[in-house]
Every structure is written in C-alpha cells, then in structure tokens.
Structure 1
Amino acid sequence: MARRLRLPALAAALAACVASVAGCASGTPPATTALTPTFTYSYPLDVITDWDPATSYSNELVALQNVYESLTRYDPGTGTVKPQLATSWSSTAGGLTWTFHLREGVRFHDGNPVTAQAAKAAIARTIAAQGGAAYIWGAVSSIDTPDPHTLVFHLSYAAPMDVIASSDYGAYVYDTAPPGVKPGALKSWLEAAHDTGTGPYTVADWNQGQEAEVTLDAFPGYWGGWSGRHYRQVVFDHTPDVTTAWQTLETGDVDFRSQLNPELFKEATHFRALGTQATASLQNLIAFFNTAAGPLTDVRLRQAVQNAVDYDGLLAALHGSVGPAQGLIPSGLPGNDPALTRHQNLPLARKLLAEAGYGPGGRHLNLSLTYAQGDDAQQLFVTLLSSDLQALNITVDARPMQWNAQWAQAKATDPAHRQDILLMYWYADYASAYSWFVNLFHSAQPVSFNLSYLDDPVVDKEIDAIPQLTATDPAAERANYALLQRQLLEQDAAAAPLFVNTYQRVYASGITGYRDNPAYPDVVFVHDLEPSP
C-alpha cells in the first residue's frame, strides 16, 4: 500500500516547498520532508486513562507495550516465555528463588542505563503503588541485586515468576529517577505524557479527547536496533464509530483496526488492499450486576436477568466473531469449565421475578445499564436483552458511553448513583485465571474493577488461597476455581459472562510480520512489522 503523509507532516512538507520552490519543482523534496513510515492504529475507545507504568491498568496497554518492556514476553502459541529485558533465568529451592540475567547495554529513553538496581527500583515502586496489577508480585518477599545485571527474587511461596514477569500490566521495567525530575514528582511528570521506558518507541504527543490521541516516535537508541524497514512513528486514532473506521481502512488513512463488526470483517476478507486475521482470545464480555444498591440487591432479580439473557441468540447474531462463555474463565486457561455454559431460561426468569413481586402481572422494574459507545457487539446484546426484559415487564435504560465516563459512574461515592448493570471486557494479566477473581470479585475499598461491589468474606478467602496453589497443587487450584465460579455465578449471581471474543483484525495488506498475541490484548508490537515499500 502506498504510504501517505498525515496532515501535520503534509503541512510541514508544503511549508518546506514554499521555502524551497526550486527543490519541490524539480521533484526532489528537501531532506527534511522525507516521508516517515507511520503506522496508524484505529482504536474504538479512549486510548489513555493512566500514563504511569506502575498503576496503568486499562486501554493504554495498546500504546505502552510499545514504550515499556518487561523482563520476559509470553508466547501463547508455544505456552512459553521468551527473553526481553532478561536474556535468561532459572529457579531453585522448589521455585522459591528466581534469578534473572539482564540484557547488557540497554538504556532508558532518558539516557540512564538499565541495571539490576534500576529494575528492582521499578518493581518496588510498582508494588508500593498498589495499582491494579501490583498483585502479580504478591509472592515476592525480597529482591537482591548481586551485580549490575542480575536480579534475584526470593518468594514467600512458589510461583511461576518467568510467566508473572511477562504480565501485560504491572511488570514494566522503567527508570524511577529520570534526570531533572525531583523525588516525589515522578508521578505527575509521567502523567504529563513523559516516559522512561526501554521500548522501541517514546511518547511524542498526546492530544486528550482528540481523534489523533497519541503519537509515538522511534527511540533511536533502542537495543533491538533499526536496521531494515521499520515504522518510525505510531499514531493511535480514537475512532468509536465502526463505519468511520471501515472507511478509513478502505481509503488507506489507517493501517490497523482492532475490531470491526462481523459484516464488515467479512467484507474486509474480500478487499484486496486489506489483510485479516481471526484469533481465539483470552478476553470475555461480562455483565456486572450492582449488588450493593438499587433493585438488583435482591439476588432473585439478578438471577432472573441472568436467565433472561439469550446467550445462544447473541452468539448466532455475531456470526463467528465470538464464542460461548464457559464460566468466567476463557478456554485455554486452567479452570475453564464447559459445564458452566449458560442458556436462556425464560420460565425460570418469570418464576424468580414473581417471587420478588415483579414481572408480568407484578410491579414494573426499571434498570439502568451502560455500555461502550461504538461497540457493535455490546449494542447488539443490549438490544436483545432490552427486548426480552420488556416482555417480562422490565424497562432497560441503556446508555452508550466512553469507558472513562462509565468507570467514573461505576465508582461513584454514592452507590445509588451507580448503574444497575455495567458491561466490561476482561482479559488475563498473565497466563492465569487469577485476574478474573482478585480484581473483579474480591472485596475492595475504594472501588476499582470489582464493579459488582460484592463483599463476601467466604469468596475473599477462596480467592486469597489461589496463588499458593498455582505452582504447588494445580488440581486443587482447578477445584477452587470451580467452587468459586459456582458461588459467584449461581449463588451470588454477581455477574453474567456473555461471550469470549474472537479477535478479528483488519490491516493494510502491505504490512508483513503481524502476528496477534492474545496474551497482550489489542496490542500491535509495531517494531516487529515491516511497512510496505
């Protein structure tokens, strides 16, 4: 595909032509106007919610995984971890001690060298910040740095640190002492879109609320090098509307779209200028019910809504872009249970509503629901659910919203101001199902992602037991997951898993080297790509 100049670059080129008419007329543009290979990613949601690598736990993953790096990277195709900032590692003492040897000669984007001491400081800061993914380091009791390129983790219980160190969040190695930044000012400095990563790209521009939201530029000193053809710039366009996204793919104004809809994806497979990939994911869509305030504090009403969902109809209408939810845990992770696949049961929904005094012939029920603006799959679910609930004397006030606005409402200080039902995607932080439980259903104050607001000490105890079982007793771990899922989905009815995504990617056909990695949802590792000539 022919490359094009984005508008800012085009304006610069025109200005240069005015300043150098002879050069432009001769067909030889001045050196300063040479085309920069730019990879443009069309993303349906707000890209940035948090720039800080210690606490980042949302959509910015798609950008930050190109700016920051971890000790290892997980390869779901082989089920193994690969070297990144660590070149080798080993464990002793039954998995209680892990030694990582760091790549030599690596520098942070601020120029400081990457040392074992710097890596330790980053991990320690992430643990201390207690952000969304800090829990991944829960087994770590201490870290030693016997030399500048060796990290030794001492654990309080056996854990797969090579896999944990590949986590998509919370495992970044970054400089905690960039030059010129005063101690205590790092957080605010990072949130102003500065970075201290080691990755191939560095943050160049952030236009919050604008279409071209984030721009990354190539970091010249990247340890992986720049020989051969690479994209020198990455732009993340915030494009909620799927029709607009499709049009920009057709015209070549963007190079990649994380998801269209089934009809447009099918059309893209026949479009010569576009390439497509469909990949099974570790990401599911979950409907969370407000157990703390409003009508859904009655478990019978939550169970009624669960049974009113037309799970099979939703799958059929989405034409292969999703698969069935088999409990909370997607297929491919320990604890997945096909026996937990749900099907619509309207007679049971009516019975439960009647017991609570609602439903046909009973009181009318109003429920508020929020979902992602521009997400056709969520919109379809809302349409189907609203129709089925209307027949049960329930009205759904459904509002499409950007994620930041939904999340703010869900965390409102007054529980009465929160939505009754919230739709949210979730995916693994590393190759484990633990993330679904510790983040989504463990009691927590303040509220973060536990958006059913469940506060059950029995559930908390079972969740807390999981990490120590992972490395020592996998059979007990699976049994614990089975018990927890039945408690959460059947007895507490805190949520309804709706489907598991099949990633349907669309990109410019001239790009080579793209391979979806579901362990890093929606991430394109742009340095791995080769642009068309």
Structure 2
Amino acid sequence: MRLTVPAFLTAGLLALAACSSGAGGSGEDAGPPRPGGTLVFAVSSDAGCADPAQVGSNDSIYSMRQIVDSLTDQDPATGDIKPWLATSWSSNPQATEWTFQLRPGATFSDGAPVDANAVKANFDRVPSLGARGTLPKGYLAGYQGTTVTSPTSFTVRFAQPNVQFLQGTSTHSLGLVSPASAAQTDDQRCAGVIGSGPFVLASYTKNQATVLTKRPGYSWGSSLFTHPGEAYLDRAEFRVVPESGVRTGSLQSGEVDAIASIGPQDEAPLAGAGIDLPSRANPGTPFGIVFNQATPLGADPAVREAVSTAINRQEVVSAVYTSQTKPATSALASTTPDYADQSAVLPFDPNRANQALDAAGWVRGPDGIRAKAGARLTLPLLYAPVIATNRPALELLQQQLRAVGIDLQLQERPVSDTATIQQSGQFTAAWLNVSRADPDILRAQYGSAGSNVFRFPAGTPLDGLLVAQAGTLDPAQRTQIVAQAQQQLVAQHLVVPVAELTTTLAVGPAAHSVAFDASSRIQLHDTWKSAP
C-alpha cells in the first residue's frame, strides 16, 4: 500500500499556510540569491546539547536542524510528506511495516555512506537514549527492528500499527547521524554529532554559541528546497543572548542578522526600523501547565479545576505575547491535524474556581492563600527559560491564581536540566509546549507506555484513546478518537492549556529566505546574504 500523501497528515494542516511560511530581509532590490557570507542568529537559550535527537527546545533545534537530513520532509503549506533522503516509501495494510527506498550517493561529513545500514544504526540506537531522547523514542514507539534488504532499501517493523511514524521521519529528532555518532554515549553525542546535512557542526560551546559551516559537495537536499546543491551561506553562527533587549539592540545595530523570541514590546520598534517579522503558528501542544499525577496536588481534581478556571488566557496573551498569538483552546494547538476546539470547557471563571476549592475543604488563610489539614495550597511550577515570554507569562499567572487562593511558586531551571527533573518525578507541575505537526504528540506526552514523565496511569479510558489513535488507519476514525482524547485531557484538567506558541522572528535587511518548516522551525539551506 503506497502512502505518499496520507490523508491523516494533510487533513488539518492546510491552516498552517495562513501564517508566513518564511521570510528574509525586507530589501526587494537585493537581486538574485548569491553564495557566501555568514548569518548571525541570536537565540535566548541553549539546551546544553548538540545532538538533534536529544534537543527539544526551538532555540537549539534551529541550529541542529541544519546538520542532519531526514528520510522525508513535510510541506509547511499542505502537510504533505515529500522525498528527502528517501525517494519512496510504502506500508503494509496494518502500518506495522514501513519500507523505504533511499537515494544513492549521499554521505555523512565523515565520509560514511547514508545507506540502509546507517538508518538501521540510527533507529536501533533510539530506544536506549536517555531522558533527553523523549521525542525520537515516541516516534519509534513499539519499534521491533529494521531489516536491510539492499544498500538503498530497508523495512522498519513495529509491534503494533504506527500511522504517525511516517511524519516522524520528517522531524529533526529522527534526522540521521553517522553510525560512528549513533554508537556514542548520550553525553558524547551531546558534545556534537556528524550528520549529512547542508551544514557541518564546526564548534559548540555550551550556553555561548553554535557555529556551522557549509558542507562542500552537498547535493541531496529535500525536494522542498528551492535550489539544488550546496547551501548559499558559508557559515551560520547561533549566539546565546538571554536578554531580549540585547538581542533587539544587536539586530538594530547590525551586529546580528536575525533573532528569535520576540516580545510584544519589540514589535513596533523593530517594524519601524524596517526589520521583517516573519511569524508562524506552531502545531503540537500549546504552552500550558501539566500536572504530575503522582503528586497530591496533581491528583486533586479540585485544584486542577481551580487552576484552569482561574486563568484569564486572553489577558495573558494580550499582555505578554506578540500580536499574532492566540489563547489556547485545547490540548492541541489549533494548527495541529485533528485539533478539536475545547474552549467551552476552558472558561475564565474565578467564581467556579473558588467554589471548587471551598467544596474540597481548601480554606483561605489571613494572607489569602488557602490551606487544608495544615498544608498551604502552594503549587511549585517547573519551567525553563527557553523563550523570553515564559517568565512574564508565569508572573501574570501567579497573580491570577493568587486571586483564588493558590500560591504559584515558579521554579526556573536550565533547559539542560528539565528533562532529567521530569524523568525523576521530583516536580508537581510543569510549564511547557512541544511542537509537532501530528496529533500523536498527545500519546508521546501523556501516554503511559511512553516516557510518561507526568505519571499518567495505565489502563484508563484516556490511555486507551491515546494508544488507539496511533494504530487507527482510517483518517475519520482517527480524528474522532483524537477529539475524544483532547476532551478528556481538558475537561478533567489534566492539562491546562494557556497560549498557543507562535514563532515570530526578526530578520534584518541583509538576510533573505529564512524559511519555516512544517513545525515552525527554520531551514537555512536556501538562506542567503546580500552583499555588504
């Protein structure tokens, strides 16, 4: 059964084309693209790792995406899966076996061939990745092995139907690294891996900079790239600049060419200075609060309900985020396939929050914070400064929750530590989002058989729905199951969605064609610089 353009992937992604799919400098008279030059890109954070399989924050993905190729690519305008390293693919009727044909001639930058054995080495290694490898392990859930039939042909086998795997092959997380890199330990890989992408990792200095150089002779790019052959840029530098004002000033002065994590205060001055502000809504799970179900507060339905109904999502979005940002209305962002609007069960209703806490025996103290059985209603919230808006958004949530007697305590940790903390279970709730253009992100995040950092119990109706959607071949039936899962997650307040992430960049006039991919990360193969 040939699945070149699966309907279950395209069915919700047409809306992704509504935002800008990419942009560059605003100078229309720059002429045709020219090779050469260095793009300097300022980001706000660093995941502490230079391995695409072990990073999940956008600021690190921006650079890591450039050093690896994927088996497939995903069209950001339509959601269609397109050829990259793989020229064709097919599935058995049960979607338990996926067979791919590779293009010949691609190599890793250490000279090793990108062949079927290299793919097998990559996929065989994924299940043993540690806490930082949550994303690729989710895409390969139920992995039983890869059978190599020729240097350019292989079949990937799963224990159960896995309809989301094809889209997973388009992600940075399953981007291929050299077998020598695949065999290294997790920490060794985090020091830097060898890929086959249009750029090579020249240096990585944790919390400072990632430097990439053009791969000479590159000629096996995605079918979605706008030009064949090597990248235009000679070099790309990703500098870690945590302060939003410093990033903005550096762009305005010409010290950097582009910046990420644009705040609302940056929009008007940057636009007024002739800076382009490309934006694109991120599919996947929106920013929000997710409870650790193994903790007393996470297991308390009254607390979860009060947190959800005390939050004024529109106020948060208007005060903190760029003008293109929307309040979250489900456990999935509205640009994700099979999104189902749950806004009816996400009201801003402080009276309901107070009633739920009163009925559960949480009594206000002299300072307004509630307590029960001698324990204050203090909710520690784990988060990482992966985007400049996180801190101000959470400070506003603190005020909103205090109004109903909840003491929200912010626990900021480096992005490099959060995965380990979540795996340990030593947290009560976490603030996060994950971008992916497939609804299976719900199973990867909240299914009991996955990493399950939020300790969702097995055997529940929700758990059954998350498993069922991953193995359902009929697109309409899958849509229905995913909708039911979203309803349960939101109605039971197991997750508290707050704001949909919209990636807004600022790109100076000398940089052109900084393009978004389907997950609203950047692709630099076609990016170029104007003459100085």
TM-score normalized by the length of structure 1:
0.80
Following superposition, the deviation at residue 56 of structure 1 comes to 4.5
Aligned residue in 2 for 1:220: 216
CA contact (8 A) 1:106 1:198 kept: yes
Separation of aligned partners in 2, 1:129 and 1:399? 26
Name the structure 2 match of 1:117: 117
Matching residue of 1:282: 283
Deviation string 1:148-189 (CA, Å, 9 cap, x unpaired) is 2223445653736543321231x22222147xxxx9656554
Query: 2:71 matched to 1:71?
Result: yes
Pairwise CA distance, 1:398: 2.3
- Quote the Cα distance in structure 2 between the aligned partners of 1:464 and 1:227: 41
Query: Which residue of structure 2 aligns with residue 427 of structure 1?
Result: 435
Q: Indicate whether 1:466 and 2:474 are aligned.
A: no
Task: Name the structure 1 match of 2:352.
Answer: 348
Q: 1:388 to 1:189 in 2, by over 3 A?
A: closer
Equivalent-residue separation in structure 1 for 2:281 and 2:53 (angstroms): 29
Q: Give the total of aligned pairs.
A: 476
Secondary structure class of the residue paired with 2:342: helix
Q: Which residue of 1 aligns with 2:5?
A: none
> 1:409 Cα deviation (Å)?
4.0
State the one-letter code of the partner of 1:308: A
**How far did residue 296 of structure 1 move?**
4.1
Equivalence for 2:190: 191
Q: Which residue of 2 aligns with 1:388?
A: 400
> What residue ranges of structure 2 are gaps of 5+ in the alignment?
1-23, 26-34, 222-227
Shift of the 300–82 alpha-carbon distance from structure 1 to 2, 3 Å rule, reads: same
Structure 1 segment 173-212 matched on structure 2, within 5 A: 173-177=176-180, 185=184, 187=186, 189-193=188-192, 195-210=193-208
Structure 1: gaps (5+ residues): 3-34
Aligned-partner Cα distance in 1 for 2:66–2:89: 23
The one-letter amino acid of 1:66's match is: Q
Deviation at 1:140? 5.7
2:316 is aligned, of 304, 308, 314, to 314
- Partner in structure 2 of residue 13 of structure 1: none
Is contact 1:326-1:340 (8 Å) kept? yes
Q: Give the aligned residue type for 1:157.
A: P
**2:443 aligned partner, one-letter code:** V
CA contact (8 A) 2:287 2:499 kept: yes
**AA partner of residue 234 (structure 1):** A
Q: Distance in 2 between matches of 1:393 and 1:186?
A: 47
Give % identity. Answer: 23
Shift in Å, 1:344 = 0.8
Change (3 A) 1:207 1:360: same
**Alignment CA distance shift 1:190-1:117 (3 Å):** same
Cα distance 1:289–1:108, how it changes in 2: closer, same or farther (>3 A)? Answer: same
Structure 2 residue identity aligned to 1:290: N
Give 2:483's aligned residue: 482
Q: Deviations over 1:184-228 (max 9, x none)?
A: 6565543332x2210011111121133xx2112222232259978
User: Quick one: distance in 1 between partners of 2:85 and 2:404?
Assistant: 56
Matched residue of 1:276: which SS? coil
The aligned counterpart of 1:369 is: 381
Q: Is the 8 A contact 1:291 1:453 kept in 2?
A: yes
Change (3 A) 1:164 1:397: closer
Cα distance change on mapping 1:122 and 1:524 into 2, 3 Å: same
Q: What's the TM-score once normalised by structure 2's chain length? A: 0.80
Gap change, CA 1:300 and 1:154, over 3 Å in 2: closer
1:55–1:126 contact (8 Å) kept in structure 2? no
Provide closer, same or farther for how the CA distance between residues 359 and 498 of structure 1 changes in structure 2, counting only shifts above 3 A: farther
Structural RMSD (CA): 3.1
Contact 2:382 2:429 in 1 (8 A): yes
Classify 1:427/1:369 alpha carbon distance in 2 versus 1 (closer, same or farther; 3 Å): same
- Secondary structure of 1:248's partner? helix
Indicate the residue corresponding to 1:531 in structure 2: 529
Q: 1:297 maps to which residue?
A: 299
Give the aligned residue type for 1:259: S
Q: 1:410 to 1:501 in 2, by over 3 A?
A: same
1:333 matches 2:336: yes
The answer to which of 51-60 and 393-402 deviates more is 51-60
Q: Deviations 1:91-120 (Å, cap 9, x if unpaired)?
A: 565756544332222111111222222222
> 1:341-378: CA deviations, max 9, x gaps?
52211111010111222254653522222434374433
Deviation at 1:122, TM superposition (A): 2.0
Separation (CA, whole Å) in 1 of partners of 2:506 and 2:338: 31
Match in the other structure for 2:168: 164
Give the direction of change, closer, same or farther, for the CA distance of 1:278–1:353 in structure 2 (3 Å limit): same
The CA distance in 1 between the partners of 2:123 and 2:240, in whole Å, is 31
> Against the structure 1 CA distance between its residues 251 and 366, is the aligned structure 2 distance closer, same or farther, given a 3 Å change threshold?
same
Q: Bigger relative contact order, structure 1 or 2, given CA contacts below 8 A and separation 6+?
A: 2
Preserved contact between residue 511 and residue 530 of structure 1 (Cα < 8 Å): yes
Whole-angstrom CA distance in 1 between matches of 2:183 and 2:419:
28
Counterpart of 1:512, as a letter, is: H
Q: Is the partner of 1:82 in helix, strand or coil? A: strand
The secondary structure found in structure 2 opposite 1:528 is coil
Do the aligned partners of 1:321 and 1:503 also contact (CA within 8 Å) in 2?
no
Q: Note if 1:443 corresponds to 2:439.
A: no
Q: Which residue is equivalent to 2:62?
A: 62
Could you say if the C-alpha distance between residues 250 and 228 of structure 1 is closer, same or farther in structure 2, counting changes exceeding 3 Å?
same
Q: 1:398 to 1:456 in 2, by over 3 A?
A: same
Contact 2:302/2:357 (8 A) holds in 1: yes
3-state SS in 2 of match to 1:118: helix
Q: C-alpha separation between the residues in 2 aligned to 1:136 and 1:229?
A: 29
1:141 shift after superposition: 5.0
2:380 alignment partner, SS class = strand
- TM-superposed CA distance for 1:388, in Å, is 2.4
Distance in 2 (alpha carbons) for counterparts of 1:145 and 1:158: 19
Q: Provide closer, same or farther for how the CA distance between residues 375 and 152 of structure 1 changes in structure 2, counting only shifts above 3 A.
A: closer
Change (3 A) 1:126 1:373: closer
